[in-house]
Structure 1
Amino acid sequence: MFEYLRKILLQDQDEKNSGVVKTSSGETTTKKYQIATAALLIEIAKADGNFSEDERKRIIELMKKDFNLEDECVNELMELSEQKVKNSISVYEFTSVINESFDYQEKINLIKNLWRIIYEDGKLDSHEDRLIKIIGSTMNLEHKDVINAKLFIKQEPGK
Structure 2
Amino acid sequence: MSRLSYIDNLEEWASSFHFKHPVKVRFSETDMFGHVNNTVLFTYFEETRVEYFKRMGFMQIWLHDTGGEIPVVADLQCDFLEQLYFDDEIDVHVKVARIGNSSVDLHYMGTKAGRVCFTGRGTIVQISKKTGKSVVWTEEMKRKMRVF
TM-score w.r.t. structure 2 length?
Answer: 0.33
Higher share in strand: 2
Higher share in helix: 1
TM-score w.r.t. structure 1 length?
Answer: 0.32
